[in-house]
């Protein structure tokens, strides 16, 4: 890819009181790329996401560029479609009305947004559930509604923060393949946080391993495995080779953070 | 409520009323101690016209004051949530006013608003207003920080977040406050009437005591508690109908 990066982060730092969450973090994300981020717990992954989502301002000195233009983090509010770890569906809204929440906030016509959401239900495996409320859905379905809400908020950059973290292994691997499928059709740029190394390699064009706190880039690994990716890939020698490399890097950092006791809070 | 628990409730009530009747008749208790149930029901029937008129007055005061108080309480809580700086200045003052039992204000309110219906409406509005204000404020504050962040990331401003997140999230607590306030509104209306009024159930109770007509006192109490239960039940039914997601 030789086009200009969609997102450029240079020397990004963030300190909360005595805690240096990020220090000198660098990353470029190309349009249409699927980048996964792994790291030991408490390595500042969520801080990174909060900055890119526009919720937190990085400390002075770092560079944040979006679509080739330098900007403050807060200018990214409403520009990036963000999906937090928990689905955070609103219990008083049914599936369709939860899915169109972001569109409603940007002032879209409600009935048009609903029609669009209805047409997307089959793709998200939610056909027939449009009028159900969150408490009537399983964990996997709730997660798909949250993903649908993220997809309907049509922004070039999507931030997914451990979207499948709470799901059981089987549902999780189904959701991963499904996400790749949807991503291949919609071709958005995705930045995806996970704890799961298999997931990071299986999904990503590139895996970013973060150091223990303060968070920086430990390893940047291209995943040159062919797409579409099938589950058999997980046991292939190419996959295993990448996995060993990534695991070694994580192991080193986890040891470091364990010894210095900074692994306390995620 | 399931069929069996409703049946049990009715059975319990009938049992207590029967015991009451037998005790009052069996020991030939004087009316100022405890009149028999049938005596009270007889008095209700006998004075039905006067009691109905009084119930209308008290009901009007309670419901009008309730509506004003509920709107004012929710409105004030909304204002303090949307205009954060105001909160630090106004909240302590409101809490100080609320720390005095509402009935303590009644002599002043009677002085300012007269012996008529309006002083009762003001008292009820005060009592209900604070109850709803506090439950609404607690409800608005209770939202998940991560939900607020999610809405912000979608580009929502303070008003958008209030309308789409804080208000609906607070509804269960507001509704619970509204339900509790129904009973409070009638209590305050009746107590204020007893301190000075031209009509109403509290006024009947007060008059009947001075006339040593205790059966009439009981008759008015019976009507008042029926009114209170009906109001409580109606608001509770609305709550169950609209707050379906709890």
Q: What is the mean pLDDT of residues B188-215?
A: 93
Nearest CA of chain B to the CA of A136: how many Å? 10
What pLDDT digit, counting tens, does each position of A226-264 carry?
988 988 999 999 999 999 999 999 888 888 777 776 544
Tell me the whole-structure pTM to 2 decimals. 0.83
**H or E element, residue A21:** strand A19-29
- The upper half-sphere exposure of residue B219, i.e. CA atoms within 13 Å in the direction of its Cβ, equals 27
* Ordered domains of chain B (ranges, CATH): 38-242 (1.10.3720.10)
Q: Does B216 have pLDDT greater than 60?
A: yes
Interface contact flag, A91 B153, Cβ < 8 Å = no
Report cis status (omega within 30 of 0) of the bond before A164: no
Answer yes or no: is the ipTM higher than 0.85: yes
Say whether A55 and B144 touch across the interface (CB within 8 A): no
- Residue B187, both tokens: 């209590």
Set of chain B residues whose Cβ sits within 8 Å of the Cβ of A134: 245
B-chain CB neighbours of A92 within 8 Å are 168, 171, 244-245
* Tens digits of residue pLDDT in B35-50: 999 999 999 999 999 9
Q: What is the pLDDT of residue B30?
A: 86
- A8 vs chain B: nearest CA distance in angstroms? 19
Contact across the interface for B168 and A90, Cβ inside 8 Å: yes
User: Which of these ranges, A157-161, A240-244, B89-93, B234-238, has the smallest mean pLDDT?
Assistant: B89-93
pLDDT in tens, A151-191: 999 999 999 999 888 788 888 888 899 899 889 888 889 99
Give the position of tokens 């209770």. Answer: B142
The confidence score (pLDDT) of residue A50 equals: 92
Q: With contact defined as beta carbons under 8 Å apart, do B165 and B152 qualify?
A: no
Res A254: pLDDT? 81
Interface check for B147 against chain A (CB to CB < 8 A): the answer is yes
pLDDT band at residue B112 under the 50/70/90 scheme: very high
Q: How far apart are CA A94 and CA A103, in angstroms?
A: 15
SS (H, E, C) chain B: CCHHHHHHHHHHHHHHHHHHHHHHHHCCCCCCCCCCHHHHHHHHHHCHHHHHHHHHHHHHHHHHHHHHHHHHHHHHHHHHHHCHHHHHHHHHHHHHHHHCCHHHHHHHHHHHHCCCHHHHHHHHHHHHHHHHHHHHHHHHHCCCHHHHHHHHHCCCCHHHHHHHHHHHHHHHHHHHHHHHHHHHHHHHHHHHHHCCCCCCHHHHHHHHHHCCCHHHHHHHHHHHHHHHHHHHHHHHHHHHHHCCCC
What's the pLDDT at B3? 67
For residue A73, give the chain B residue with the closest CA.
Answer: B153
Q: Inform me whether the C-beta atom of residue B28 falls under 8 Å from chain A C-beta atoms.
A: no
């Amino acid at each position: 890819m030789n086009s200009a990066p969609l997102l450029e982060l240079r020397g990004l730092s963030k300190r909360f009181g005595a805690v240096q969450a990020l220090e000198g973090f660098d990353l470029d994300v190309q349009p249409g790329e699927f980048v996964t981020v792994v790291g030991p717990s408490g390595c500042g992954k969520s801080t990174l996401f909060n900055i890119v989502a526009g919720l937190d301002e990085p400390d002075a000195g770092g560079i944040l560029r979006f679509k080739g233009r330098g900007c403050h983090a807060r200018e990214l509010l409403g520009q990036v479609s963000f999906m937090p770890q928990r689905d955070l569906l609103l219990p008083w809204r049914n599936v369709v009305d939860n899915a169109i929440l972001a569109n409603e906030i940007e002032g879209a016509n409600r009935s048009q947004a609903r029609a669009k959401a209805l047409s997307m239900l089959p793709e998200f495996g939610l056909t027939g559930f449009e009028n159900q409320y969150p408490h009537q859905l399983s964990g996997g379905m709730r997660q798909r509604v949250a993903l649908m809400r993220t997809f309907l908020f049509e922004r070039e950059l999507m931030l997914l923060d451990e979207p499948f973290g709470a799901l059981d292994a089987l549902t999780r691997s189904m959701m991963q393949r499904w996400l790749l499928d949807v991503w291949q059709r919609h071709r958005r740029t995705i930045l995806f946080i996970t704890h799961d190394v298999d997931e990071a390699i299986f999904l990503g064009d590139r895996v970013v391993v973060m150091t223990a706190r303060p968070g920086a880039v430990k390893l940047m690994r291209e995943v040159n495995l062919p797409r579409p990716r099938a589950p058999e890939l997980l046991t292939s020698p190419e996959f295993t080779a990448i996995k060993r490399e990534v695991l070694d890097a994580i192991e080193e950092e986890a040891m470091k953070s364990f010894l210095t006791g900074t692994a306390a809070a995620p | 409520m399931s069929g069996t628990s409703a049946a049990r409730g009715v059975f319990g009530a009938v049992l207590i009323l029967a015991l009451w009747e037998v005790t009052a008749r069996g020991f030939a208790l004087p009316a100022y101690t405890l009149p028999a149930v049938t005596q009270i029901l007889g008095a209700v029937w006998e004075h039905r016209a006067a009691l109905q008129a009084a119930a209308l007055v008290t009901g009007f005061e309670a419901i009008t004051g309730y509506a004003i108080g509920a709107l004012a309480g929710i409105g004030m809580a909304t204002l303090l949530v949307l205009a954060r700086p105001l909160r630090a200045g106004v909240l302590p003052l409101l809490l100080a006013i609320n720390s005095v039992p509402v009935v303590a204000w009644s002599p002043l309110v009677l002085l300012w608003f007269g012996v008529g219906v309006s002083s009762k409406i003001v008292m009820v509005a005060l009592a209900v207003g604070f109850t709803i204000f506090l439950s609404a404020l607690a409800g608005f504050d209770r939202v998940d920080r991560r939900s607020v962040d999610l809405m912000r990331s979608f580009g929502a401003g303070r008003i958008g977040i209030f309308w789409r997140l804080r208000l609906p999230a607070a509804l269960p607590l507001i509704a619970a406050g509204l339900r509790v306030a129904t009973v409070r509104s009638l209590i305050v209306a009746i107590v204020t009437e007893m301190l000075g009024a031209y009509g109403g159930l509290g006024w009947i109770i007060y008059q009947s005591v001075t006339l040593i007509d205790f059966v009439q006192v009981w008759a008015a109490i019976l009507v008042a508690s029926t009114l209170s239960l009906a109001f409580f039940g109606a608001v509770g039914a609305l709550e169950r109908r609209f707050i379906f997601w709890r």
